[in-house]
Structure 1
Amino acid sequence: MSGAHENAAERERAITEEVLAAFSATPDPRLRAIMRSLIGHLHAFAREVRLTDREWQTAIAFLTRAGHLTDERRQEFILLSDVLGLSMLTVALNAPDTPGATEATVLGPFFVDDAPEIPLGGDLAQGAPGTPCHVSGRIRSTDGSPVGGALLDVWGADEDGLYDVQYPGEHCAGRGRLRADPDGGFRFWTVLPTPYPIPHDGPAGDLLTACGRGPMRPAHLHFKVTAPGHRTLITHLFVAGDPHLDRDAVFGVRDSLVVEAEHHEGGTAPDGSQPRGAWASMTHDLVLAPDHGSAPGR
């Protein structure tokens, strides 16, 4: 290495060491460890790719756009985390190592706190367009015992691939919360999920296009299940046969979460009703891991 290169490398290392030293007195030990690791990897990345001023400015503008797009209805930073696989990696890092528990997947950007509660067996579609779909199953623990009274938050897109929060106004459709019965059983009506593109008119979509990737997600329903003494489960049920199962834009598909949707024409539904025209049904049990306490930072 020439003298000029040695001087440049030494200057670069000195900058990183100076920044690391500035964070070395961070009082919280976990924050200190995170920041020192982040700085070390971030500086190493910039050195490895020889980041130019123009590229750095482009990155700042990219993140600024993401911030401007983010509001109570759209979370562009979650989309970026999703398409980079960081969301699923975080899920994997924090998933309980409990054999038999339902696999977790990404929360996504469309979860809403305090969705309306519906009665067991009720209709959370609330006018969302699509083929009616009856969904049922049981919540149980890994030891096989039922988890009665578990709280389920459920949300999904309509037949046009849109969530209620993507429409103007405050109408709530295609989402709700319900309680499992004493035997852990749950059942409700919604609309049959369809594949859809994640919002791709912003920085996350631009990134996918630049990298030759598509924005599609396979058809799925979201679930968040909570119960005392158990780890909260955030997962999806994916519709078997969807053409996008092997190229989910956010890497969320797990084989164990792929469920057959049975298609019907008239007849009698599991709840004894007589649907008119086409409808569908899905059934799948959800298994919660026991909560033995969380590791630091989880």
Structure 2
Amino acid sequence: MTAEHDAAADREQAVTDEVLASFDRTADPRLREVMQSLVHHLHSFAREVRLTEAEWERAIAFLTRAGHLTDDRRQEFILLSDVLGLSMLAVAINETRAPGATEATVFGPFFVDGAPEIPLGGDLAHGAAGTPCHVSGQVRSADGSPLPDVRLDVWGADEDGFYDVQYPGDRSAGRGWLRTGPDGTYRFWTVLPTPYPIPHDGPVGDLLAAAGRGPMRPAHLHFKATAPGHRPLITHVFVAGDPYLGCDAVFGVKDSLVVAVDHHTAGTAPDGSHAQGAWTSMAFDLVLVPDAAG
């Protein structure tokens, strides 16, 4: 190595050392640890790839575009985290496992507060387009005991691959919450999930295109289960046989979450109602981890 190279390396390291030292007096020890580690790895990345000023400017422009697109109906930064696998890595780091417990997966950018409550056995489709789908199962604790009165938030896309928040207006469709019955069972109507592309008309879509990656997600329903004394669970239920199970744009698929869908013709549905046309059904049990297991 030449003296010029050594001097350049020293100048670069001096910048990193100065920034690291600026966090030495951070009162919160966890914040100090996180920020100093972030600086260390971020600076190491820049040195490793020999980041140019033009590339830095493009990165700032990318993040600026993501910020401009983000509002209470669209979260481009969560989308970016998802396609980089950071969301699933955070899930893997923080997931508390217990034998037989339902695996967690990504939260996604389409959850919204204020979804309507539906009764047990009710319809959360609320007019969403698609084939009717009856979804049922039981929520249990890791020891096998049924969990009554668990709050289940459920949301999914319609047959065109869009969530309600992607449409104009304030309509709530394909979204709702309900509580499990005394025996921990749940049931509701929605529409059969279909595969769909994540929003790719923004900077995250540009990134996927530049990398030669597709934007598709396999068909799924989102579940959020909240029960006293148990860790909250965020998970999906994926449709077996979907062509995108092996190439999910956000890396969220786990084999244990893939469920078969039964197809039916017109006739009597599980709740005793008469289905006028074709309908489908799927069953999936949720097993939660007690807080004490964490």
Name the TM-score class by shorter chain: over 0.9
SS in structure 1 opposite 2:139?
Answer: strand
Task: Give the drift of 1:70.
Answer: 0.3
Task: Give the drift of 1:224.
Answer: 0.1
- Paired position in structure 2 for 1:58: 58
Task: Give the drift of 1:99.
Answer: 1.8
- Paired position in structure 2 for 1:109: 109
Structure 1, residues 245-281: CA drift from partner, whole Å, max 9, x if none?
0000000000000000100011211111110111000
- Paired position in structure 2 for 1:174: 174
- Paired position in structure 2 for 1:29: 29
- Paired position in structure 2 for 1:208: 208
Task: Give the drift of 1:96.
Answer: 0.4
- Paired position in structure 2 for 1:273: 273
Contact 2:96 2:293 in 1 (8 A): no
Task: Give the drift of 1:114.
Answer: 2.2
- Paired position in structure 2 for 1:221: 221
- Paired position in structure 1 for 2:154: 154
- Paired position in structure 2 for 1:263: 263
Task: Give the drift of 1:86.
Answer: 0.2
Q: Provide the C-alpha distance between the structure 2 equivalents of 1:64 and 1:99, rounded to a whole number of angstroms.
A: 44
Contact 2:218 2:248 in 1 (8 A): yes
Map 1:7-22 → 2, pairs under 5 A: 7-22=7-22
Contact 2:73 2:165 in 1 (8 A): yes
SS in structure 2 opposite 1:204?
Answer: helix
Runs of 4+ in 1 over 4 A off after TM superposition: none
Q: Greater shift after overlay, 128-137 or 259-268? A: 259-268
Contact 2:98 2:293 in 1 (8 A): no
The number of residue pairs the alignment matches comes to: 294
Map 1:34-183 → 2, pairs under 5 A: 34-183=34-183
- Paired position in structure 2 for 1:233: 233
**TM-score, length-normalised on structure 2?**
0.99
**RMSD between superposed Cα atoms in Å:** 0.7
Q: Provide the C-alpha distance between the structure 1 equivalents of 2:15 and 2:165, rounded to a whole number of angstroms.
A: 45
Contact 2:124 2:190 in 1 (8 A): yes
Task: Give the drift of 1:97.
Answer: 2.5
Q: Provide the C-alpha distance between the structure 2 equivalents of 1:168 and 1:213, rounded to a whole number of angstroms.
A: 28
Q: Provide the C-alpha distance between the structure 2 equivalents of 1:219 and 1:50, rounded to a whole number of angstroms.
A: 40
Q: Provide the C-alpha distance between the structure 1 equivalents of 2:55 and 2:140, rounded to a whole number of angstroms.
A: 51
Letter in 1 for 2:20: L
Q: Provide the C-alpha distance between the structure 2 equivalents of 1:222 and 1:244, rounded to a whole number of angstroms.
A: 17
Q: Provide the C-alpha distance between the structure 1 equivalents of 2:58 and 2:189, rounded to a whole number of angstroms.
A: 46
Task: Give the drift of 1:293.
Answer: 7.5
The reply to whether residue 185 of structure 1 matches residue 185 of structure 2 is yes
* Runs of at least 5 residues in structure 1 that lack an aligned partner in the other structure: none
Task: Give the drift of 1:119.
Answer: 0.3
Letter in 2 for 1:237: V
- Paired position in structure 1 for 2:285: 285
Structure 1, residues 177-219: CA drift from partner, whole Å, max 9, x if none?
0000011000000000000000000011000000000000000
**TM-score, length-normalised on structure 1?**
0.98
Letter in 1 for 2:41: H
Letter in 1 for 2:23: F
Q: Provide the C-alpha distance between the structure 1 equivalents of 2:97 and 2:106, rounded to a whole number of angstroms.
A: 17
Q: Provide the C-alpha distance between the structure 1 equivalents of 2:97 and 2:119, rounded to a whole number of angstroms.
A: 33
Q: Greater shift after overlay, 138-147 or 266-275? A: 266-275
